[in-house]
Structures are given as C-alpha cells and as structure tokens.
Amino acid sequence: MKATEIRELTVKEIEERIETFEAQLQKLRMNHAVSPLDNPMKINEMRKTIARMKTILTERTSQKQ
C-alpha cells in the first residue's frame, strides 16, 4: 500500500487497517517459522506498510494539536 493510498483514508480506517495488517504479519511470521514462505519479502513489505500507516496517523494527530 502506497503512502498516497493511505493518505486518502480516514483516521479510523487507518487504525482498523493497522490492526488487520499487524494480525496478518503475526500469521506470516508464524507460518514462516513452521515452514518457509514462498516469498519471505512479504514480511518486510508488511512491516514497512504498517510503519507508513503509523507515520501518517502520527502526522494527522500532531496536526490537530
């Protein structure tokens, strides 16, 4: 998910997506521990997407204050 796509979302939607992406990341890590993933770079991509969402969320909350 690109930053431009994330910026189009509302704060509530971003928070919900962060929760779902973190759950997916945890599942990916567990699956990778049991048996190797076809594409282990998915873990890195997911981490970076979560970081982007959290950064944009922080920017929006700091703008309001």
60 within 8 A of 10, measured Cβ to Cβ: no
Number of domains making up the chain: 1
Query: Which amino acid, 16?
Result: E
50 within 8 A of 22, measured Cβ to Cβ: yes
Quick check: is 10 in a domain?
yes
Give the structural domain span for 47: 3-60
18 within 8 A of 50, measured Cβ to Cβ: yes
What's the pLDDT band for 63 if we cut at 50, 70, 90? Answer: confident
pLDDT at 48: 97
Mean pLDDT of 32-55: 95
pLDDT at 65: 76
pLDDT tens, residue by residue, 1-34: 899 999 999 999 999 999 999 999 999 999 999 9
63 vs 11: CA distance, rounded Å: 12
35 within 8 A of 27, measured Cβ to Cβ: no
10 vs 25: CA distance, rounded Å: 22
Quick check: is 65 in a domain?
no
pLDDT at 29: 96
